Amino acid sequence: MSELNKLAEAVFRGDFAGVKVITQQLIDAGTAPLAIVNDGLLAGMAIVAPKFKAGEMFIPEVMMSARSLAEGMKLVKPFLSDAESANMATFVMGTVKGDLHDIGKNLVVMLLESGGFNVVDLGVDVSAEAFVEAIKEHKPAIVGMCALLTTTMMVMQDTINAIKKAGLREQVKILVGGAPLYPEFAEKIGADGYCVDAVACKEMATAIVSKL
């Protein structure tokens, strides 16, 4: 089994200590940071998702996997951040109100930071008002919203409406992402773009700021 496969396996098993050791070994061996993220850490989480869906894994086990993933990401993050030059446009990001999922959002944040964005991460369960206040305070070029539940997808619409009502819509581009979303939904709620994954988000954000 390759070291990356062993890392994926350790994430799947929720083995914090193993994830830390293998991630560090991969970093020391000069493995590309993005390969560690995609082919090791995220590959492990990709085993978890269908098993959770099928009722073969339960919430505490999923949390152990998620925490293990986070431990590995902590180690690899500084190397991703050094990977590219800074452009320092500000990107405000949050998981919308009612939604506590943050694994994908955190990955997006990490990749954006690696692309030189100054990311203001509002966390999870972020109200429309908090997004509005963050736009006033940080004056971002882009606002990103994450939703993982079909019930919180529509909260994105409420948030965009609140941004419009506050007179701030023309100042920012809005990108949305999360597993249940799709391009037509993003268009319907008036977002500027749908990001299928973290890499797409970083590419779209970079394209947006290059036109500013």
Nearer to ligand B1M, 22 or 148 (CB): 148
Count of residues that bind ligand B1M according to CB under 6 A: 36
Query: Does 53 sit near ligand B1M (CB under 6 A)?
Result: yes
Query: In whole angstroms, how close is the CB of 84 to ligand B1M at the nearest point?
Result: 18
| 8 A C-beta contact, residue 135 and residue 171 | yes
Rounded CA-CA distance 71/76 in Å is 9
Site string for ligand B1M, 162-201 (x = CB under 6 A): -------------xxxxxx--------------x-xx--x
- By CB under 6 A, the residues from 8 to 27 that bind ligand B1M are none
Strand, coil or helix: 2: coil
DSSP, collapsed to helix, strand or coil, labels residue 49 as helix
Nearer to ligand B1M, 75 or 91 (CB): 91
Q: For residues 118 and 191, what is the distance between their CA atoms, to the nearest angstrom?
A: 21
- Cα(70)–Cα(86) distance, rounded to whole angstroms? 24
Do 101 and 148 form a contact (C-beta atoms < 8 A)? yes
**In whole angstroms, how close is the CB of 28 to ligand B1M at the nearest point?**
25
In the shown chain, the binding pattern of residues 95 to 124 toward ligand B1M, with x for contact by CB under 6 A and - for none, equals ---xxxxxxxx-xx----------------
Q: How many Cα atoms within 13 Å fall on the side-chain side of residue 190?
A: 14
Q: Least Å distance between CB 167 and ligand B1M?
A: 22
Nearer to ligand B1M, 26 or 45 (CB): 45
CA distances from 13 to 44, 61, 64, 67, 169 (A): 9, 8, 8, 11, 44
Among 14, 40, 115, 144, binds ligand B1M (CB under 6 A): 144
DSSP, collapsed to helix, strand or coil, labels residue 173 as strand
Between 22 and 42, CB nearer to ligand B1M: 42
- Cβ proximity to ligand B1M, 17 vs 100, nearer residue: 100
The answer to whether residues 40 and 11 touch, using CB atoms and an 8 Å cutoff, is yes
Nearer to ligand B1M, 28 or 55 (CB): 55
Only one residue has tokens 């500000």, namely: 90
> Which amino acid is residue 61, in one-letter code?
E
Binding site for ligand B1M (CB under 6 A): 42, 45, 48-49, 52-53, 59, 62-63, 66, 98-105, 107-108, 144-146, 148-150, 175-180, 195, 197-198, 201
